[in-house]
Amino acid sequence: MTIRRIVTIGDPVLTAPCKPVTDFGPELQALLQDMKETMYAAPGVGLAANQIGVDLAVAVIDLTIGEEPGRFFVIANPRITVMEGEQREEEGCLSIPDLTEEITRPAKVKVAAQDEHGVERELEGEGLMARALCHEIGHLNGRFYIDELKGLKKTLAYRKARKTAKEG
């Protein structure tokens, strides 16, 4: 297992949709272990493969940051099938250090995805889990959470994020 470098805003791998996962063999399993270790070391509650420079549609999520075994999720080739309600909370990102913004997300989502073995699963998330699912799926589609902002607020957030990334 290796803790990988998290790429930051400005890296082109973060702004293109990721390639679908087609091989769920040993290479993917090793990548998932690296992603898990990297996410916990950051620390974060989610990490998409493109955040460590890998162009694959897979992400990991653990809202307990490793404190509750069995609460670790792998989502490969995910797609949101249902969105309900609305919540507005502060959100941040490992690829945009030192920046948080209030973002509106669905209060509840259902997601169809494959697990680490390629088995189709449906996940439901409310509250923080809904936010995490939307955030990581956004990454896999080449979007940042600040893309949810509008107008001048979005422009200023991007400006600040790029400045911080250059300095860091």
For residue range 77-100, list pLDDT tens digits in order. Answer: 999 999 999 999 999 999 999 999
* Higher per-residue confidence, 31 vs 162: 31
- Confidence (pTM): 0.94
Half-sphere exposure of 116 (CA within 13 A, CB side): 15
Give CA separation, 151 vs 27, 52, 98, 140, 147, in Å: 42, 29, 21, 23, 10
The answer to whether the CB of 81 falls within 8 A of the CB of 112 is yes
Rounded mean pLDDT of 73-77? 98
Residue-wise pLDDT for 6-45, tens only, equals 999 999 999 999 999 999 999 999 999 999 999 999 999 9
Query: Which residues sit opposite 80 in a β-bridge?
Result: 111
Residue 168 pLDDT class (50, 70, 90 cuts): low
Residue-wise pLDDT for 97-127, tens only, equals 999 999 999 999 999 999 999 999 999 999 9
Give CA separation, 92 vs 35, 74, 131, 157, in Å: 18, 20, 11, 11
Full DSSP string of 75-112: EEEEEEEEEES-EEEEEEETTEEEEEEEEEE-SEEEEE
Instruction: Give the pLDDT confidence score for residue 54 in this predicted structure.
Output: 98
Give yes or no for residue 164 having a pLDDT over 90.
no
Rounded mean pLDDT of 137-166? 93
The CATH class for the domain spanning 12-167 reads: alpha beta
Instruction: Give the pLDDT confidence score for residue 156 in this predicted structure.
Output: 94
Give yes or no for residue 68 having a pLDDT over 90.
no
Q: Which residues are catalytic?
A: 136
Give yes or no for residue 166 having a pLDDT over 80.
no
